[in-house]
Structure 1
Amino acid sequence: MRLNHLNLCVKDLSEARQFFESFFGMQTTGEVANAVVIMNDGEGFTLVLSKPRGNAEDALIYPDGFHVGFFVDTCEEVDRLYHRLKTAHVPLNQEPRKMREGYTFYFHALDGILFEVTCLNESPTLS
């Protein structure tokens, strides 16, 4: 069994679409009106972005600890993405660092969703 897709409710579909395309290389494969954007990572995972139903948009709060995590192959990729986000003025509270089994940073975007970017099994080059 493998995870096929995830539906992530967001307040602004256009902003979320651009965010995932620009920073995480997701490709849009379909849209339904102004309610759903279907994206693919090129490796078989589908991310569905949707508008909350009814008046849920006003109360769209994910529980503490919920996050969207991305693995990259090298520590250099972690650093590169961190600097791209920083240059784009995405609020970043911490720099990448060795954490548990990898090299990681966390940040909030898209109205408070927590994101994680990690490289496993490699140590960063310390200068």
Structure 2
Amino acid sequence: MTDRLITHLRHLDIAVPDYARQVEFYTNLWGLTPIAADSGITFLAAEGSPEQYVVRLREAEEKRLDLIAFGAADQESVDALAHRLGTAGVRLVSEPGKLRTPGGGYGFRFFDVDGRTVEVSCDVAVRQHRRVEEKEAIPVKLSHVVINSPDPERTRAFYERHLAFALSDTLFHPKLGEAMYFMRCNPQHHSLAVARGPHVSLHHASFEMRGIDEYMRGTGRLLRAGVKKVWGPGRHLAGNNTFSYFLDPHGNTVEYTTELELLDEDTWHPHLYDFTQPEVSDQWGTANPMDEFVAAESFNDPDRGVFVAPPV
């Protein structure tokens, strides 16, 4: 799309009360690498990713989603997007300027239609990353983020109108209607998805593994450690990616995945998938069945950060 200024997903920032336990989980169990830390804040990188960090953890009295960050090509794109949003009445949290987070860069923040803080940046220094080796069961990168909204049609429309995200596929239920919109900002099937939920919250964050073997080894490591598995292992139809969902210590759903589909955007036509069909949820048939109890695990707690910008 000629008016698409967003290039990719950068990182997810969350705040939690039990900060030490959360850092322990994401480093020693999930497989991310601490690259910087200060009092009550830790930046975690994925070894295979050029992004400075893919998760930021912050200590706070209440659990919340601090922000979702996306990349842009250059300062001109950042400025153009800030101007476009401001002119359209979107509430800016900060004006474009220099970033003080690891890697520096240039960016700004705004509230989306549900009150989430979103950051867009460019010129962030590329982190020295490496090839993840065979049998090394750690995340290569942050794959995608899924958010809950009580009005997902409105949320989808916001990202389409203001950020030029495109719809890749939709999940629906014959009696309940459309339930999830998979949205892309590049040829990857989705970098963002919007799910129908009872309140604004994080649905899940997904991390890409090197391949099927590494994905299964990572899944097994968490199972042996007694981490609560929500759903999987299996392979979705929409996106054709593998999935194993777990709960972090504060009840956020996190996913190991691999092989997420890359689309030819010029020829792709969105599908409407009935997720009551077993093969839609899991082509392999190896995961525990999707039901209302599995779905409810990813509703998460109501986000305390709605229309409240994070302090850092």
TM-score by length of 2: 0.34
1:29 corresponds in structure 2 to 35
1:79 corresponds in structure 2 to 216
Deviation at 1:11, TM superposition (A): 2.3
Residue 9, structure 1, aligned to residue 15, structure 2: yes
Would the aligned equivalents of 2:233 and 2:244 in 1 still touch at CA under 8 Å?
A: yes
Size of the aligned set, in residue pairs, is 119
Work out which of the residue numbers 113, 117, 126 in structure 1 matches 2:252.
113
Work out which of the residue numbers 18, 30, 46 in structure 2 matches 1:41.
46
Give the Cα separation in 2 of the matches to 1:121 and 1:9: 28
Would the aligned equivalents of 1:13 and 1:37 in 2 still touch at CA under 8 Å?
A: no
**Residue identity matched to 1:38:** F
TM-score by length of 1: 0.76
Post-superposition Cα deviations, 1:54-99, rounded to whole Å, max 9, x if no partner, equal: x4x1xx2664552111011211112111110011010113330121
Q: Which runs of 5+ in 2 are unaligned?
A: 1-6, 66-199, 262-282, 287-312
Inter-CA distance 65–49: structure 2 relative to 1 (3 Å threshold): closer
Map 1:63-78; keep pairs closer than 5 Å.
63-64=200-201, 66-78=203-215
CA RMSD of aligned residues (A): 2.6
Q: Which runs of 5+ in 1 are unaligned?
A: none
**Identity level (%):** 20
Larger radius of gyration: 2
Would the aligned equivalents of 1:7 and 1:48 in 2 still touch at CA under 8 Å?
A: yes
